Amino acid sequence: MRVGTFEKSGAVVFLILLSSLFSAAQQSRIGTLVGNAGRGKALYQRYCIFCHGAHGDGAGDSAPYLDPKPRDFTKATFKCRSTPSGSLPLDSDLYDTITRGIHASAMPSWKPLLRQERADLVAYVKTFSPRFQEEQPAAAISVPPEPPTSSDSVKRGADLFQSLNCWQCHGNEGRGNGPTASTLTDSKGYAIKPFDLTSGTRLKCGDSDQAIFRDLITGLDGTPMPSFTSALTPDQVWDVVHYITTLRETAKHQGSAPAAEPKGPAAEPKEPAAAPKTD
C-alpha cells in the first residue's frame, strides 16, 4: 500500500510540474508584463492569421503573394534574437519584433497595439511550437561598449568584409547583389535576397550599431547569414559595424541605383555614370 501511495504521489508531482511547464509556455514575460495566450489568440486571429496562417505555419491566405515569406512559427526559428544561434528567442525578442516590424518585408510595426496586447501575442505565438515547452532560451549575448569610430576602424572593417567573403552575398558595395545572391535560399527552400546594406538607416532587426553587432554575433537563423562569434573578436565585430555604417552613409549621399556587381573583391572600379541632361 505504501509503495502504491508513493507512486501516486510521484505521478501527482510529475503532473504538477508538467502543468507548470505548460502554463509557463502559455505565457510571456516582458519586464513587468505577463502575456496571456488566450487573449493573444483573439488578437492573432484578427491581425496575423492572414499571413502566418491558422496553424502558425506561415501558410496564410496572403502568403503566396509575399516575398519574403511569412515566418513559420511551428519551427521556432527566428531571425531577430538576442540569444546565440540555434537558441530560442527571449520573450522580449519576440515582443521587440512585433513592436518594430521587419523592414523590407510585409511585417509591419504593431506599435499601435497596447503593450499588454503585444505581450499577449507573444504568448500565443509560443504555443505553435513544442520547443517553448521543452526548452529554455539561452542567455542573451553581451554587447560590449562601442569604441569610437575612426578611419582605421572602418578600413579594418572593410578588409574583414572582404576576407570573410561578406561581399559574395552582399556585394562589394553592400547592395545585396553579390555573385551568389541569386542562388541563396532560406531554411524552407524559398529564395532569399541578401540585405541591401545601403538601402537606408533601417535594418531588419534594429537600426542601432548595437543591433548590427548583435546580428553579427547571433546570425539570422533560418537564413544563410551565419554567426561570426567564433570568427571575430568583439573589436573586429565593431570594425565591421563601423564599415557597414559607412555604406549606409555613402548611399545616402550618392543616391545611385544598384549596378551590376563585379565578380570579386579585386575587380576594377566601374566608370561613373554620366550626369543626366537637363533642359
* H or E element in which residue 105 lies: none
Looking at the predicted structure, is the pLDDT value of residue 108 above 80?
A: yes
Convert the pLDDT of each residue in 48-98 to its tens digit.
Answer: 999 999 999 999 999 999 999 999 999 999 999 999 999 999 999 999 999
Q: Would you list the domain boundaries of the chain?
A: 25-134, 151-254
Convert the pLDDT of each residue in 130-165 to its tens digit.
Answer: 999 999 999 999 999 999 999 999 999 999 999 999
Looking at the predicted structure, is the pLDDT value of residue 8 above 90?
A: no
CATH of 151-254, one of 3.90.226.10, 1.10.760.10, 3.60.15.10, 3.40.50.2300: 1.10.760.10
Evaluate the CA torsion angle 154, 224, 186, 192 in order and state its sign: positive
Looking at the predicted structure, is the pLDDT value of residue 249 above 90?
A: no
What single-letter DSSP state applies at residue 35?
E
Beta-carbon contacts of 130 under 8 Å, excluding residues fewer than 6 positions away, are: none
Percent of the chain with pLDDT over 70: 80
What is the pLDDT confidence band of residue 4, given thresholds at 50, 70 and 90? low
Looking at the predicted structure, is the pLDDT value of residue 258 above 70?
A: no
Looking at the predicted structure, is the pLDDT value of residue 168 above 70?
A: yes
Average pLDDT for the chain: 87
Q: Helical H runs in the chain? A: 2-25, 37-47, 49-52, 91-100, 115-125, 131-134, 151-163, 166-170, 209-218, 234-254
Convert the pLDDT of each residue in 197-239 to its tens digit.
Answer: 998 878 999 999 999 999 999 999 999 999 999 999 999 999 9
Looking at the predicted structure, is the pLDDT value of residue 171 above 90?
A: yes
What is the pLDDT confidence band of residue 7, given thresholds at 50, 70 and 90? low
pLDDT higher at 13 or 150: 150
Q: Give me the CATH topology for the region 25-134.
A: Cytochrome Bc1 Complex; Chain D, domain 2 (1.10.760)
**Is 120 in contact with 91 (CB distance < 8 Å)?**
no
| Residue 97 to residue 23: CA distance in whole angstroms | 23
Looking at the predicted structure, is the pLDDT value of residue 195 above 80?
A: yes
Matching fold, domains 25-134 and 151-254: yes
Quick one: average pLDDT of 185-195?
95
The answer, as to whether pTM is greater than 0.85, is: no
Beta-carbon contacts of 85 under 8 Å, excluding residues fewer than 6 positions away, are: 218, 219, 221, 226, 227, 229
φ and ψ of 35, to 5 deg: -85, 145
Looking at the predicted structure, is the pLDDT value of residue 271 above 50?
A: no
